[in-house]
Structure formats: structure tokens, C-alpha cells
Amino acid sequence: MPQMTAETLVERMKGIPEFILSKIAEILDSYDKEATVAEGFLFERCPKCGAIHPRIIKGGKTSTGKQMFRCMDCQRRFTADYGTCSFYSHQGTEAWNELIKMTIAGETLKTISNALGINIATAFRMRHKLLCSLEDEEASARISDQAELDEKYVVKSCVVLPPNTSTGMQLCSISGSRLAGWT
């Protein structure tokens, strides 16, 4: 096949219908996106065995087309989204990004399911996975160095009673019940 010049390519493209050109542009964009993402995977640790700076190679693709990787230390395969909320999901990253935006905006599950074209149960499960991953992230967050707490509001009020002469302990009354407090 003879090599095409840019001018001949432009001339041939003028005869192609608009819907085919848009489809070609869409395919090129998805290829560009996939190539950029594939180059950006740097694994500091293997998510399966925990090896630091593991030797990772490509290890095929899943049935849905996601790139799989293989750790040469433990020989186990995993996808790049292993351990994230989109792991084991049939929805693409665009759907997850839209779900996150709409959840932050306070949209209802029905609105989200209609916008994404998915079942309301799927939207519920996706939102649940998102909120659980946020909860895990919050639970693992630690305050380093020093932290200052100005005020703390407590729902129940505690009225301290005079010390009990027989035990020498102060009693604290919370909503009518008596609890032992510090002396």
C-alpha cells in the first residue's frame, strides 16, 4: 500500500459523511485516552502481595476490555482499579465520574439513574460503594503532630450532683438516670 501524504488524506476525507467522521474522531479520542492512562500506571506496591516497587508487566485484558497487570513477585493478576470503588464494576469511568458529581450536587437516585441510563438499583449500589470507600478513607485518616479543638457540642446535658458520702464519688445525672462519674 503506497504511503499517503497529508494532502491526499484531507482530499479523501472530504468525501466521507459527517457521522463517520465523528465516529472516527470518537475512536481516536478513546485510543488517545487509553494510551495516556496506560502509560500513567506506576505501582508503588503490588495490591495483592504488598511488595514494594514490584516488577509489573501487562497481563492480558478482562472480558470487558480493562487492562490487567501481573506482579512478577507473586505471579498474581489484577486490574489498575483494584481496591477502588470502580473495581468489579461494569460501568465505565465516565459513569463513575458523573455519579460522583451528581452525588456531591445532592441529586436523587432516580435522577442519577435516568442521567446515566442505568437501573435505579445499580445507581444505589454504585453510590453505596462510593460512600463506603469515602468512609474507609475517613477512618484511615490520622491527624499528625498537633490538633486544636475549640468547641465540642454534646447533645445530652450532664448535671453534676453533690458527692455521695458513702462512696465518695460524684454522680452525674443524664436524662434522669444516675451514672458514676469521677471524684
3-state SS track over 69-106:
EEECCCCCEEECCCCCCCCCCCCCHHHHHHHHHHHHCC
Residue written as grid cell 453534676:
160
Distance CA 48, CA 98 (A): 29
Fold of 83-135: Arc Repressor Mutant, subunit A (1.10.10)
Q: What is the pLDDT along the chain (183 residues), one digit of tens a residue?
A: 567 677 776 777 778 888 877 877 777 777 666 655 555 566 788 888 888 877 888 888 888 777 888 988 899 998 887 877 778 888 888 898 899 999 988 899 999 999 999 999 999 999 998 888 877 766 666 777 777 777 766 566 556 666 655 655 555 544 444 444 444
- Tell me if 131 sits within 8 A of 143, measured CB to CB: no
User: Domain boundaries in the chain?
Assistant: 13-39, 43-80, 83-135
Rounded to two decimals, the pTM is 0.49
